[in-house]
Every structure is written in structure tokens, then in C-alpha cells.
Amino acid sequence: MFELYIIILICFLLPVCYFITNNLKYIYKQANILNNIKKLENKIYIEYKDIIYIINTYIKRKKWLHCIAMLEFYLNQSSISENKILANYYNYIGLCYQLIDMYKIAKKYYLKAYNKQPNNKEILKNLNNI
């Protein structure tokens, strides 16, 4: 009977340990990227993949206004010529506005993203959700 109890306990605790370990790795990665960004001398230029990672972190933490402010800052400060990057920025801004129930503004940004990259399925899906 004791062996059965131990086996059931281990079967329950293994998935819990797995999820805790994954969350700890995720938190460590977030902290590491944010610390690396703080160390940069030129804080205006951050790599695109890091910006997207921070945006996703803000969205998961439901800090939509932080996300909007950061994206608007990078849209105004940087001279981005690649339409795919601009479309993704506009799409994320629209998503943030949609999540705070400001649908007209979200639609405006989705349309800007659509004008930059009309073939992107994610933009079309988000525009359809409004």
C-alpha cells in the first residue's frame, strides 16, 4: 500500500515539477533580456526579436499601455523601412487596443498593418475579429 502511495505521489509531482521548471526558465529569460537591455548605451536601438519578446511579455502580463507606449516610441524614433516589421508593430498596437476594448482605434492600427503587409494572415484574422 505504501508503494502505491509513493507511485501516485510521484506521478502527481512530476508534471508539477516540469511546469515549475519551465516557468522558472521563462522568468529567467525575461529577466536576462531586460537586464541586457538596461545595460545598452544606445537605448533607442533594440533588436527586433527582443522588442517582440518584450511585447509578448507585456501582453501576457496584461500591461497593454506599456506595450502601446513602447511600440509608439519605436515607430516614431526609428527609421524602419521594412514593411513586415512595421506591419507587426501596428498589428501589436491594434491587438493591445482591442484587448482594452477600444475597437475603433484597434481597427485603425489593423488597417495600417494591412496596408503595409496585405498578405499577413494574422493581421487579416485580427481585422476580422473587430
The yes-or-no verdict on residue 33 having pLDDT over 80 is no
- Give the torsion through C-alpha atoms of 95, 22, 53, 101, to 10 deg: 20
Measured distance CA(51)–CA(72) in Å, rounded: 12
Phi and psi (nearest 5°) for 5? -60, -45
The 10s digit of each residue's pLDDT in 69-117 is 888 888 776 666 677 778 888 888 988 898 888 888 888 888 888 888 8
pTM above 0.85, yes or no: no
Dihedral of CA 111/72/69/50: which sign? positive
The residue among 124, 59, 61, 128 whose CA lies nearest residue 97 is 59
pLDDT by residue (tens digit) across 38-79?
666 555 667 778 888 888 888 888 888 888 888 888 877 666
pLDDT number for residue 43: 56
